[in-house]
Structure 1
Amino acid sequence: MSKLRITYSLLVVAAIGTLAWLNGHEEQQSVPSVVKVPDYLQDSADETPLQIEPDVGKSPFLPTAVQSPFPGMPMLNTQGGKVAGEPDIQLPTPEEVAQKQQMEKLGYLIPPEYYQMELSALRELAEKGDTFALVHLGERYYFDIKKRQSGPDFEAGVDYTQLAIKSLAEALARGNAHSAAMISEIYLVENKPVEATAWNLIAERMGDQLSVDWFRRTKDYQQLSANDRRTAAQQAEQLQQALEQQRASLVSKSRDTKTS
């Protein structure tokens, strides 16, 4: 795959298809998560940052990645073995089940109803701290509105890249571990491999090894100089400190809200 061309419609189809299978198996899990410091990570009262040449398979970074390792996977029956009426369908291997569970845990998957919401409804939920809304808002800003630059939601002069990263950074602070890899991908597509590597290091600390492995096989990463990699590591330390401060601030604001 020479260029990353992920369309919004494919994301919706992938999300709905994947969630349909997942809902038949087990409930989605949630997980707590764990970065120069960008403006969108600074603690403030205000709520407001694609060319990539990977030489390997499709990116696993998006929460609704179109290359889900579980497409068309059948429903299990209560007796185990093959599905009734489907003698030729093989059940998922333990490795596939474990990978699916890990993807759920890291926050790869978003409930399909979020893809049907108006932008105003998503923003309202995001302001209330809804992690799914924050993640999909980041997706929609970057992969839909910015790309199309048309439609009722598009506003000229708005930096949708920064809005996407800000939304994903808050989602990360609120527990969506996979958001770090999504920010990394945005920077990679924006031809900023040092920043992308810094966020990929955060993704590694969050346990998102699927995204880490993909990223480190890209030409952009492999062509980084030793000095650039040291710079990225320094940025990652600063990003994590800022992220921890943002988490502490969110916890404090939540406590103040409950006591007021």
Structure 2
Amino acid sequence: MKPIKATLAAALGAAALLVWYWQDEQAEQQRLAAQQAAEAAQRAADAGKNTGLRDLFATPAPASSASGTQSGDAWQALNAAAAQHSGEPGEAAEPKLEPETAEQLALNDSLRRLGYHIDERYYRMPLAELRRTAASNDRQALTHLAERYLFALDGKPTEPEFEPGFAYRDAARQALQQAYLAGNLHAAAMISEAYLIERRPTDAAAWNLIAQRVGDKLSADWFLTTRDYQQLSDEQKQLAARQADTIWAQLEARKRSNG
């Protein structure tokens, strides 16, 4: 190839490369812009709504986590906070995700102190196995069983493990009460959230008071910001306080009997 032709070919090749690079950059910018627009639209759609524990645990779930249902729903994200610290004594360490903010650090520390922890293996359990494990009063299994009921199965008839007619929300609250008695004090706030999902704010407020008593400050404070709580009348708040006293007494009695 003559020098002038070689030079021209090289120039054209470089120009083509620049065009490709520019187009790739443009495509990436468009993708990011579309993603940001979708996130903004979702935030606008969720404004004023109680979007549940997803607001508290917004960190993506570990990539290695998987459920027996292979569901991508919110219950996976709930446990991401638990995966931010190593396992309890005698348990395999979980993947560690670096907390991004002081708020996330505070949340992780609060969850550890309250006894909220779920090992990675529970994500992979089929529902039948998870139920058997929970029946042995395994705190982690009980907690995750409730989460799976609430966020992976309730109202999702297309899920392979969905059972028509099964009272998922009642069963989830029962499992969370057992988890609470087994040492997961954060379960009180989770029960409060379960009632919020059902639009039962007085019951949610009662369990929020239990969460406050056990020191689950971050969850309890979050609940006070919800529209459902802010719309409670003084009479409803007084009713919630009386319910909380009754619930507390019942829980303490069950602790003593389990003693």
TM range (shorter): 0.5 to 0.7
Question: Once the 2 structures are TM-superposed, how far is the Cα of residue 73 of structure 1 from its aligned partner?
Answer: 4.0
Q: Distance in 2 between the 1:218 and 1:98 partners?
A: 20
Give the count of matched residue pairs. Answer: 189
More helix by share: 2
Which secondary structure does the structure 1 equivalent of 2:169 belong to?
helix
Question: Once the 2 structures are TM-superposed, how far is the Cα of residue 211 of structure 1 from its aligned partner?
Answer: 0.5
Matched, 1:178 2:241: no
Matched, 1:12 2:76: yes
Q: 1:231 to 1:124 in 2, by over 3 A?
A: same
Matched with 1:118 is 126
Q: 1:201 aligns with which of 201, 209, 225?
A: 209
- Kindly provide the amino acid, as one letter, of the partner of residue 188 in structure 2: A
Q: Distance in 2 between the 1:117 and 1:22 partners?
A: 21
Give the TM-score normalised by the residue count of structure 1. Answer: 0.65
Q: 1:227 aligns with which of 235, 242, 250?
A: 235
Matched with 2:151 is 143
- Kindly provide the amino acid, as one letter, of the partner of residue 196 in structure 2: L
Contact kept in structure 2, 1:12 and 1:112, CA below 8 Å: no
Contact kept in structure 1, 2:188 and 2:210, CA below 8 Å: yes
Q: 1:124 to 1:232 in 2, by over 3 A?
A: same
- Kindly provide the amino acid, as one letter, of the partner of residue 22 in structure 1: H
Q: Distance in 2 between the 1:110 and 1:8 partners?
A: 17
Q: Distance in 2 between the 1:141 and 1:12 partners?
A: 12
Q: Distance in 1 between the 2:192 and 2:105 partners?
A: 26
- Kindly provide the amino acid, as one letter, of the partner of residue 162 in structure 2: F
Matched with 1:22 is 85
Question: Once the 2 structures are TM-superposed, how far is the Cα of residue 250 of structure 1 from its aligned partner?
Answer: 2.6
Give the TM-score normalised by the residue count of structure 2. Answer: 0.65
Q: 1:101 aligns with which of 100, 109, 128?
A: 109
Q: How do 1:1-260 residues align onto structure 2 when only pairs under 5 Å count?
A: 1-2=46-47, 3=49, 4=51, 6=54, 8-12=72-76, 15=79, 19=83, 21-23=84-86, 27-28=87-88, 72-73=98-99, 97=105, 99-251=107-259
Which secondary structure does the structure 2 equivalent of 1:148 belong to?
coil
Q: 1:142 to 1:10 in 2, by over 3 A?
A: closer
Contact kept in structure 1, 2:73 and 2:151, CA below 8 Å: no
Which secondary structure does the structure 2 equivalent of 1:242 belong to?
helix
Question: Once the 2 structures are TM-superposed, how far is the Cα of residue 14 of structure 1 from its aligned partner?
Answer: 6.1
Which secondary structure does the structure 1 equivalent of 2:209 belong to?
helix
The structure 1 segments of at least 4 consecutive aligned residues displaced by more than 6 Å after TM superposition are: none
Q: Distance in 2 between the 1:207 and 1:125 partners?
A: 28
Contact kept in structure 2, 1:131 and 1:171, CA below 8 Å: yes
Which secondary structure does the structure 2 equivalent of 1:240 belong to?
helix
* 154-163 vs 241-250, which moves further: 241-250
- Kindly provide the amino acid, as one letter, of the partner of residue 76 in structure 2: V
Question: Once the 2 structures are TM-superposed, how far is the Cα of residue 9 of structure 1 from its aligned partner?
Answer: 3.8
Q: 1:8 to 1:181 in 2, by over 3 A?
A: farther
Q: What is the aligned-residue RMSD (CA, Å)?
A: 2.6
Q: 1:102 to 1:198 in 2, by over 3 A?
A: same
Matched with 1:84 is none
Q: 1:10 to 1:150 in 2, by over 3 A?
A: same
Higher RCO by CA contacts (8 Å cutoff, separation 6 or greater): 1
Instruction: Name which one, 1 or 2, has greater alpha-carbon Rg.
Output: 2
Q: Distance in 2 between the 1:248 and 1:8 partners?
A: 39
Q: 1:97 to 1:158 in 2, by over 3 A?
A: closer
Q: 1:218 to 1:13 in 2, by over 3 A?
A: closer
Unaligned runs of 5+ in 2: 1-45, 55-70, 90-95
Contact kept in structure 2, 1:8 and 1:143, CA below 8 Å: no
Identical aligned residues as a percent: 39
